Amino acid sequence: MSETTYDLVIIGAGPAGYVGAVRAAQLGLRVACVEKEPELGGTCLQVGCIPSKALLDSSERYHETLHGLKAHGIAVSGVELDLPAMMARKSKIVAKLSQEIPVLFKKHGIEHSYGTAGLVEPGVVRVDGEQQSTIRSRHILIATGSVPAGLPGIEWQERIGTSTEALAFPEVPRRLIVIGGGAIGLELGSVWRRLGAEVTVLEYLDHILPGSDAEIAQLALRAFKKQRIGFKLEARVQSAVVENDECIVRYNDTEELRGDRVLVAVGRRPLTDGLNLAAVGIDTDGRGFIPVDRQFQTKVPGIYAVGDVIGGALLAHKASQEAIACVEQIATGVGWVNYDTLPNVVYTAPEVAGVGQTEEQLVQNNVPFQKGQFVFRSNGRARILGQTEGVIKILAHQQTDRVLGVHIIGPRAGDLIAEASVAMEYGASSEDIARAWHAHPSLAETIKEAALDVDSRALHA
């Protein structure tokens, strides 16, 4: 059994863990990072953000080639889907990015330890890998992330699985049933719809994309229905089974839907299995997340947690930002995350993105606000791209004009939202955004126009 002493040991090498390790090393800490999987990068890189966006991009090109090129005066014939090649491209992107993390670790002198980590006592972590080892460290950072949540009444099997399976179906299912109308269900549902599957989404609530601005979620639902994705709202799924080579999903006591594959996308649960939290006296909350204070410290001094495992928005950039703030706090005494400007993106077509408060939240909190909006069909660049569906809206305080929320459905909403996030980080008013330069012709001009519309002076509406 070998033993080494560090300033910081990080458990998990997802976007929280590996980014936190790099930042801590930059600040001069001696860092070890333990990861139970052979490849680094966590959910985001291995089975999340990156492979899903790779498939979204490929499937969008396939769909565009089949249905969108004619309008550009391009005639194509004999278009064929080569699914194994599409999957291989996705895997190659993942592999390439995975290989870069050990290089970063080496560059920054971060010790990478392969194995499952468990807490022994404050300052001591045991690693069960090829050999068993003990790491001693002044600080411990838990960044073990999350895994797909299941549903009572559903057992995982070959044709009833999670996003991980839906990222690698061996063939296009004829009928795909998606349980859950959140980001993951809608993104992967879109992939398989574009590749030819008949897709039906079952959602428990009376709307999709919970947490999004209601008007934007409503427009998203309309857009997806136009793509002939089927929706059954207020559908409480109770079971899913395979009978006679068919998947049968039962919901609302009496109803059922039949399909060839089922994707269960009802959220994610924190991963604390094997961490041995009880050994150091850390309790999880009712949903299994690890409670932390504003410095990301658990109730045990010297043990911290960040990313999906502490809850909040389960997003990669949120996980990374928390890890950075946490290690900066450890190394310098100052570290801070501003959740008010955290953007959220759904990479469907059109994309859906938001930052700050929704219209409903402002109404509920009695905040007086002005709303400015602009539709993409009035934007030159959107017309050029042939992607005119969507709207951007800016919510600004009625008295101060400070921007409180920006919500977009439209082409490249996920990129456009960055301007809104930065503007809000600097406390911008809608007037500030309206007066700033926006190149022509660009999609970003929609933001300027929506900002002008807060004061009812949009120029192209």
d(CA 71, CA 87): 28
Q: Is 279 in the site for ligand AMP (CB under 6 A)?
A: no
Please say whether the beta carbons of 370 and 454 come within 8 A.
yes
Q: Is 148 in the site for ligand AMP (CB under 6 A)?
A: no
Q: Can you tell me which of 319, 325, 444, 452 binds ligand FAD, judged by CB under 6 A?
A: 319
Q: Which is nearer to ligand AMP, 93 or 147 (CB)?
A: 147
Determine the straight-line distance between the first and last CA of the chain, rounded to whole angstroms.
71
d(CA 403, CA 422): 11
Q: Is 184 in the site for ligand AMP (CB under 6 A)?
A: yes
Q: Is 351 in the site for ligand AMP (CB under 6 A)?
A: no
Strand 3-11 and strand 132-142: pairing? parallel
Distance of CA 157 to the CA centre of its chain: 25
Residue 304 Cβ vs ligand AMP, minimum distance, rounded to whole Å: 25
Q: Can you tell me which of 17, 41, 42, 182 binds ligand AMP, judged by CB under 6 A?
A: 182
Q: Can you tell me which of 54, 86, 177, 202 binds ligand AMP, judged by CB under 6 A?
A: 202
Q: Is 271 in the site for ligand FAD (CB under 6 A)?
A: yes
Q: Is 19 in the site for ligand AMP (CB under 6 A)?
A: no
Please say whether the beta carbons of 52 and 29 come within 8 A.
no
Distance of CA 163 to the CA centre of its chain: 12
Q: Which is nearer to ligand FAD, 203 or 445 (CB)?
A: 203
Q: Is 161 in the site for ligand FAD (CB under 6 A)?
A: no
Q: Annotated catalytic residue: which of 207, 317, 440, 460? A: 440
Residue holding tokens 């909040």? 312
d(CA 417, CA 424): 11
Q: Can you tell me which of 145, 185, 356, 405 binds ligand FAD, judged by CB under 6 A?
A: 145
Strand 31-35 and strand 3-11: pairing? parallel
Q: Is 236 in the site for ligand AMP (CB under 6 A)?
A: yes
Q: How many residues bind ligand FAD (CB under 6 A)?
A: 37
Q: Which does 202 bind (CB under 5 to 8 A by kind): ligand FAD, ligand AMP, none?
A: ligand AMP
Q: Which is nearer to ligand FAD, 308 or 453 (CB)?
A: 308
For residue 414, give the nearest of 443, 438, 452 by alpha carbon. Answer: 443
Strand 132-142 and strand 303-305: pairing? parallel
Q: Is 186 in the site for ligand FAD (CB under 6 A)?
A: no
β-partners of residue 132 are 128
User: Given the rule CB under 6 A, which of 169-177, 234-242, 327-335, 375-383 is the region that contacts ligand AMP?
Assistant: 234-242
Q: Is 205 in the site for ligand AMP (CB under 6 A)?
A: yes
Residue 431 Cβ vs ligand AMP, minimum distance, rounded to whole Å: 34
- Cα-Cα-Cα-Cα torsion 26, 28, 30, 35, nearest 10 degrees, comes to -20
Told to judge if 440 belongs to the known catalytic residues of this protein, a careful annotator would answer: yes
Cα-based distances in Å from 362 to 206, 207, 395, 425: 21, 19, 9, 18
For residue 205, give the nearest of 191, 185, 188, 223 by alpha carbon. Answer: 185
Residue 96 Cβ vs ligand FAD, minimum distance, rounded to whole Å: 18
Please say whether the beta carbons of 57 and 65 come within 8 A.
no
Cα-based distances in Å from 316 to 42, 103, 272, 294: 10, 20, 18, 19
Q: Where on the chain is the footprint of ligand FAD (CB under 6 A)?
A: 11-17, 34-37, 42-44, 47-49, 52, 116-117, 143-146, 163, 184, 271, 274-275, 307-308, 314-317, 319, 347
**Which residues form the interface with ligand AMP (CB under 6 A)?**
151, 179-184, 202-205, 210, 235-237, 265-267
Residues serving a catalytic function are: 440
